[in-house]
Structure 1
Amino acid sequence: MKCIAKMRRTGNMKAKASTAKPWLKFYTEEALNAKLPEETLYEHVLKNNESHRGNIAINYFGNKISYGELLDTADMCAASFAELGIKTGDMVACCSATIPELAFALYGLNKLGAAMVALDPRRSPSEIKEFIVSSGANVLLLLDLAYVHLADMLDELSLEKVIIISADNYMSPIVKMFKQIKMPAPAVPIGGRTISWKEFLKLGKDKSVEAVGYGEFELAAVTLTGGTTGMPKGVMLSNDGFNAVAMDFRYCGVTYTRNQRFLDIIPAFSSYGIVASLQMPLSLGLEIVMIPKFDPDKVGKLVKKYKPSHTLLVPAHYEKLMNSKEMKNGFDLSFFRTAGSGGDTMNAGLESKLNGFLREHGCKFPLSQGYGMSEVSSAASCCCNGNFKSLSVGYPLLTTNVAIFKPGTTEELDYGEEGEVCISGPSVMLGYLNNSEETEKVMATHPDGTAWVHSGDLGCMDEDGFIFIKGRMKRMITRFDGHKIFPVQIESVIGMVSDVQSCAVVGVADTEHAQGMQALAVVKLRQGADETAVREILKEKMETELEDRGRPKFLHFVEEMPLAGMGKIDYNKLAADFNSFRNANIAV
């Protein structure tokens, strides 16, 4: 067992952060003496819920699935997969939204010592094919809604079995009836290698298999990176990585009580979804409200209906919540224990507005901002239990070490110095699937023998261990004269204006010089705001608060911000659309 007490801070503030660990003062003695469980995902969820089998694990469109049903169905899946020849070390692809079958299959595979390759069904057929082939998977779980999209690709693969799963299967009968009237399930030809979920479960009926025990550094799942800056990569996540994040939240200072509701809107084909929104709440005995297809415009409706104690959203979702009709007239949010936010940067203006909104609606805790990446099994830091500093993404989670290094080196910087944010600990990925070249670009073993993930994010840490993200190194804008502009600095100034709902700054080509980039600021206004008046306010504010070289060259107002698949602002699309922007009169 790995004891966290070994990570205790030194008390010597002259030591670097990675050694001093000043953030450990925020943790209890119980937390510091806790041990990372040497268990598989299946064992961890079983151990924590075996004596609570009657409690609700998943709330899915009116159907409340108990922990007993979750565990029993996972056992049936394990037996059925075994009948298909799946064994320890194998990978099975799952191309699906977040539905109960995905959870059942994940734990069934894990019981066998096999891993799930979680794929976004919205990806291109060529990308999906590449990762199925690369993983060596010969069994695919496929969402019925994606069948037509991927039918031609399936003909090109030598899969032994395709198991068709459906968002309808585990809905309550009345919800299922109305859904099928409104939108009938697509017809998928069953036969040959293609079988239904019901037929799949019959394969393991009245059969049982022994659970494969824990082994260090064993693969549990593969998720894909966003691929917004190039081809996506397969992130290999271990049992330890999953369970480290679950343990981190167990001891973060937030009171998680069995049966509390957790609103799960993050897709399980992402690290954030499968680890922080599935394994973590299930290991704590929470009731997951599972939403397979999340519409940001309906976030207010979901929060009002389910009144979750905990949720994880991205900043754009909180903007939608704040402006939703359901939150008008002072709707009471006192049930919120954790309003978690991550996945994208948040400027000072939006942070202030959201915390004011939460206070005004009865929430006793500030927004719990966090930071992480797919390569560290989702989360690395968080503002927990009221420990909050403006614009900080919190301090490192219990099992995690975070430090700031001089970019491109292994030289750790002092408190307050700006450099690359690097992360180590049991949640660090095993590497990218069949891609050692890309793995070596982000993972490095430093002279002390510690393996660190180099995030590509610029930031600093204060003497309490709070982390402040300055922006992606890839988002940094370099002018023709070499001066560097950090988008988050401009976004923070613009975001403070009350009539600004959201904003984003991207670099675009400088047509006035032979090299370099110019900053484009894109702004979405609140309903009813006067664009001309706001433009003048912004111009004056930026002239006052930003140096000449740090101001945006262009300012453009839009009706909606383009969002990528995970709800983050799609910066690439903003830049790509700039040719049409440039034809308008948008110079600041």
Structure 2
Amino acid sequence: MSTSISGFVNEFEIPPLTMNESLAAMVQERPDEKSLSYYGKDFSYTELQSKIDICTRALLACGVREGDVLALCLPNLPAAVIAFYAANRLGCICNMIHPLSPPRLVGKHLEETNSSFLFIADIAVNKLRPLLEELKETRKMKDIIVCGMADDAPGWKRPFFKIQLRKSKPEKDLLTGLTPWNRFLKKAESVSKIPARSKDHRSVCAYLHSGGTTSEPKTIMLSDYNFNAIAYQGNQLLGYPLSEPAPYGKSMITVLPLFHGFGLCIGMHTCLINDIKVYLLPRFSAKAVADLFKKNKANYICGVPTLYEALSKADEMQEADLSCLEAAFCGGDSLTPELKDRFDKFLAGHGSKSKLREGYGLTETVTVCSVMPGEFAERNGIGLPLANIKMKIIDSESRETLPANEIGEICVSGPTTMLGYLNDEEATSHAIVSHEDGLDWVETGDIGYKDEEGFFHFKGRLKRTLKVSGIPVFPKEIEELISSLEQVRYVAAIGIPHPYKMTVVKAFVVAHEGTDLKELEKDILRLCETSLIAHAVPQEIEFRDSLPQTLVGKIDVKVLEAEEAEALSGK
């Protein structure tokens, strides 16, 4: 194996296994180790495998067959993990849907994927009423399984979930025709044999939903091979050589949602096949995270920038001993140098020797493509490509590879490349393009550069590049600069119409409590005027108490753009 400057291997052989087979191999290797924990209730690998076996037989009893599409519209519950691997064992496709999606969007995802089974959480039943009534009336679903938040929780936690459910307890008429999770599992008693799947590890195993490389909603088809290309090098990212056995006793806080590639691949699958205990959290809570550090000495955490911002400010984290934390990874959105510096100091002040390490990825490649290696963790940037993955920067018009430090479009090639967009060959052909080197490259729609040492840096979305009087302006550059002011908590920059410049920059800013906003506005303008080209200096600054976020915690600039457009049309 050749190695990169980080000491990582550049390539390795990816085992020809399905995701369930990969998990089963770890069950055989370490049957008594703890695989999963849900609010303190632990599951050994043997216990998890037993539940997967039961779920698999229950699916067969319900008429599920290889190739069927099962929609998992669930938060981070043990049932979501169990159902995913059971479906994978049968050669089914898991359609991963955000559990907080509105009924119309869930219905759209079901229709487009031809899903025949739906798994939902009990707390979502009332919210999905219009859809559930339609599905029951039209019989579009063979079965709808309701998973309780308390189903696999320890006894002490169940009353809390019951109180929570009482606030939105579904009417009996709505529950009629739906199958509770535990009743569903009992159907397994009628099935004794589980047939082997005929589909290989390179066939579709999951549908994930994303904005695509052009910011248009897409359903992305991924295979077991795609997921395993990342999962089998998980320990290398944590500082352990691939040639050595997985260490014992490590654990990950999995608060990133499993419907997202980051949570599904890194937070669940990578951990489980590398004997890293998964602490499942169905929703972010600073107290719950703090407790996992204080009581359980969790070793790893992955999150988006807003999660780390919230943790650093949370009262519950101020007395936390983080000496157990060995690695913290950030992805899903751009990490500003200011936030990284501030969180690194927070970690050091709480006893951790680790630093926040940024990665880069997109759903078209499952999740992470590159990450900053541990020995370079003090650096800013998205690091180096993972093993078996190639990255380059091109001119988006000529497709020529650009030299070091020149900004262009980020391209990725490797075994994590999606199988394509569902029912959209044209969009697939625009996203995955064969270049002169003979390789198929994902043209990501993201812009960045590669420095002279080989490290990659993310600058923003190609679609977010603004043209001010014909001059390219990068919102991320503006956001990073304004974020460097200690009074600033969050910032988003967008383009707004201008009578002769066509577009100018407007900045939305959330300041820390107690900040003098008039003085801060002066500081922002002074900093921008001395650090940016004139075209990039915000012409408007709006202070807000909060900024809209997407379902995965990113600042939602589309909402801000829509609000501006609506305000303009009303004038």
Shared topology, TM-score over 0.5? yes
Partner secondary structure for residue 35 of structure 1: coil
After superposition, the C-alpha distances for 1:498-521 in whole angstroms (9 at most, x for unaligned) are 2222222111222x32x6221111
1:104 aligns with 2:86: no
SS at match of 1:24: coil
2-side partners of 1:281 and 1:419: how far apart? 34
Match of 2:503 in 1: 517
Give 3-state SS (helix, strand or coil) of 2:109's partner.
Answer: helix
* CA-to-aligned-CA distance 1:562-585 (integer Å, 9 cap, x gap): 2211111111222333479999xx
Q: Counterpart of 2:363? A: 374
Determine which of 172, 176, 189 is the counterpart of 2:154.
172
The Cα of 1:364 is off from its aligned counterpart by 1.1
Match of 1:124 among 102, 106, 109: 102
SS at match of 2:237: coil
Q: State the secondary structure of the residue aligned to 2:509.
A: strand
1:457-502 Cα shifts (integer Å, max 9, x gaps):
01111233211111111111111x2011111221222122122222
Of residues 491-500 and 183-192 in structure 1, the stretch that sits farther from structure 2 once superposed is 183-192
CA contact (8 A) 2:123 2:165 kept: no
**2:248 matched residue in structure 1:** 258
Letter in 2 for 1:61: Y
Counterpart of 2:405 in structure 1 is 416
Write the distance in 1 (CA, Å) between the matches of 2:226 and 2:65: 21
Amino acid in structure 2 at the alignment position of 1:197: W
Aligned to 1:222: 207
Deviation at 1:307, TM superposition (A): 3.7
Shift of the alpha carbon at 1:447? 3.2
Where do residues 22-171 of structure 1 align in structure 2 (5 Å cutoff)?
24-28=4-8, 31-32=9-10, 34-154=12-132, 155-156=134-135, 157=138, 158-171=140-153
One-letter code of the match for 1:413?
Answer: L
Choose from 482, 496, 506 the match for 2:494.
506
1:346 to 329, 335, 359: 335
Q: Which runs of 5+ in 2 are unaligned?
A: 241-245
Tell me how far apart the structure 2 counterparts of residues 365 and 566 of structure 1 sit (CA, whole Å).
Answer: 25
Structure 1 residue 300: deviation in Å?
4.8
**Is the Cα–Cα contact under 8 Å of residues 300 and 327 in structure 1 kept in the other structure?**
yes
2:435 is aligned with 1:457: no
Is the 1:348–1:492 Cα contact (8 Å) retained in structure 2?
yes
Do 1:95 and 1:140's aligned partners in 2 also have CA atoms closer than 8 Å? Answer: yes
Q: CA deviation at 1:551?
A: 0.8
Letter in 2 for 1:171: A
Do the aligned residues in 1 keep the contact of 2:213 with 2:445 (CA within 8 Å)? no
Distance in structure 2 (CA, Å) of the matches to 1:564 and 1:220: 25
The residue number in structure 2 matching 1:530 is 516
2:201, 2:158 → 1: CA distance? 42
Secondary structure of the residue that 2:157 maps to in structure 1? helix
Query: Alignment partner of 1:350: what SS?
Result: helix
Cα 1:346–1:189, aligned 2, differ >3 Å: closer, same or farther? same
User: C-alpha separation between the residues in 2 aligned to 1:182 and 1:442?
Assistant: 43
Q: Of the candidates 488, 491, 497, which is equivalent to residue 476 of structure 2?
A: 488
3-state secondary structure, aligned to 2:99? coil
1:196 aligns with 2:180: yes
Say if 1:354 and 1:367, in contact at 8 Å, map to a contact too: yes
Q: Secondary structure in 1 aligned to 2:257? A: coil
Once residues 223 and 286 of structure 1 are traced to their aligned partners in structure 2, the CA distance between those partners, rounded to angstroms, is 24
Distance in 2 separating the partners of 1:182 and 1:87: 35
Report the alpha carbon displacement of residue 543 of structure 1 after superposing the two structures with TM.
Answer: 1.9
Q: In 1, distance between residues paired with 2:406 and 2:216?
A: 32
Distance 1:516 1:389 in 2: 40
Once residues 191 and 333 of structure 1 are traced to their aligned partners in structure 2, the CA distance between those partners, rounded to angstroms, is 44
Kindly, what percent of the aligned residue pairs are identical?
A: 27
Cross-structure match for 1:16: none
After the TM superposition, which residues 422-433 of structure 1 pair with which residues of structure 2 at under 5 Å, given as runs? 422-433=411-422
The offset of 1:226, in angstroms, is: 4.8
Cα distance in 1 for residues equivalent to 2:247 and 2:563 = 47
Distance in 2 (alpha carbons) for counterparts of 1:296 and 1:455: 33
Distance in structure 2 (CA, Å) of the matches to 1:448 and 1:103: 40
Per-residue Cα deviation, 1:370-416 (whole angstroms, up to 9, x for no partner) = 01011111110101222236331111111211111111443222222
Q: Deviations over 1:189-230 (max 9, x none)?
A: 588853221222122226231443672421111111158986
Show the counterpart of 2:223.
238
Any conservation in 1 of the 2:213–2:444 contact (CA below 8 Å)? no
Contact 2:12 2:388 in 1 (8 A): no
Work out the CA distance in 1 between the residues paired with 2:449 and 2:398. Answer: 16
Q: Distance in 1 between matches of 2:265 and 2:543?
A: 37
* Deviates further, 98-107 or 319-328: 319-328
Q: Is the 8 A contact 1:299 1:320 kept in 2?
A: no
Is the contact between residue 396 and residue 465 of structure 1 (CA under 8 Å) also seen in structure 2? Answer: no
Instruction: Kindly state the Cα deviation for residue 448 of structure 1 after the two structures are TM-superposed.
Output: 3.3
Give the structure-2-normalised TM-score: 0.91
Partner deviation per Cα, 1:261-290 (whole Å, 9 max, x = no partner):
211111111111211111111111111111
Give CA-to-partner distance per residue, 1:432-466, whole Å, 9 cap, x none.
11222222221112233322111110111123321
- AA matched with 1:202: K
Residue 322 (structure 1) aligned with residue 312 (structure 2): yes
Q: Residue type of the partner of 1:525?
A: A
Does 2:481 match 1:497? no
1:536-560 deviation line (CA, Å, top 9, x unaligned) = 2222222221222221111122212
Structure 2 CA distance, aligned partners of 1:231 and 1:153? Answer: 24
- Root mean square deviation of aligned Cα: 2.5
Distance 1:524 1:75 in 2: 49
Check conservation: 1:40, 1:214, Cα contact below 8 A: no
Distance in 1 (CA, whole Å) between partners of 2:360 and 2:251 is: 22
Shift of residue 236, structure 1, vs aligned partner: 1.0
Instruction: Give the structure 2 partner of residue 549 of structure 1.
Output: 535
Whole-angstrom CA distance in 2 between matches of 1:358 and 1:265: 19
Aligned to 2:243: none
Q: Quote how far apart the aligned CAs of 1:171 are.
A: 0.9
Are the aligned partners of 1:40 and 1:213 in contact in 2 as well (CA < 8 Å)?
no
Q: Give the count of matched residue pairs.
A: 557
Q: What stretches of structure 1 of length at least 5 have no aligned partner?
A: 9-22, 584-588
Corresponding residue of 1:275: 265
Deviations 1:108-127 (A, max 9, x none): 11111111111113223232
Separation of aligned partners in 2, 1:144 and 1:500: 39
Report the CA distance between 1:313 and its aligned residue: 0.8
The answer on 1:566 being equivalent to 2:546 is: no
Change (3 A) 1:182 1:115: closer
